[in-house]
């Protein structure tokens, strides 16, 4: 399966909050953001320009978006991308929405990640 990916503009951060923390309204200023809550934590991904006072933060991430929408019957999309990048020791943080998948890679690894994907026959636009 050949995938088409695009790079979202901007640098992103991944934040960890206490599980009962209130989701900050300021994340809505981000062009892309994701919020996940579990019994153990509240995780937020948003543009790095948004100042959040989190328990932990990881900065300097870029986002590769798999152009969708992807059909729910498709299997192995994230596994294929993850395997390719893991083979070059590029760690990822993956997010999914109803329509598609997003792959976060360290800013310092973005060019290499794109090269790995295109070398494998995928398209970056």
Which of 118, 7, 5 shows the shortest CA–CA distance to 61? 7
b/e map 15-52, b = 16+ CB within 10 Å: bbbeeebeebeebeebebbbeeeeeebbbbbbbbebee
Full-model pTM = 0.90
CATH number (domain holding residue 33): 3.30.2130.10
Q: What is the pLDDT of residues 74-113, one digit of tens each?
A: 556 788 899 999 999 999 999 998 888 899 999 999 999 9
Question: In the chain, how many domains are there?
Answer: 1
Tell me the per-residue pLDDT of 26-73, one tens digit each, with 9 for 90 and over: 999 999 999 999 999 999 999 999 999 999 999 999 999 987 766 555
Residue 14, domain extent: 4-124
68/59 Cα distance (integer angstroms) = 26
């Amino acid at each position: 399966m050949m995938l088409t990916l695009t790079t979202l503009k901007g640098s992103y951060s991944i934040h960890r909050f206490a599980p009962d923390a209130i989701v900050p309204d300021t994340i809505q200023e981000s062009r892309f953001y994701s919020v996940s809550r579990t019994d153990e934590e509240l995780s937020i991904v948003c543009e790095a320009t948004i100042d959040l006072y989190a328990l932990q933060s990881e900065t300097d991430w870029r986002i590769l978006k798999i152009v969708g929408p992807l059909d729910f019957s498709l299997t192995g999309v994230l596994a294929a991308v993850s395997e390719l990048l893991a083979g070059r020791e590029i760690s990822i943080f993956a997010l999914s929405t109803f329509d598609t998948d997003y792959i976060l890679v360290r800013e310092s690894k973005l060019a290499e990640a794109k090269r790995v994907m295109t070398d494998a026959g995928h398209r970056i636009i």
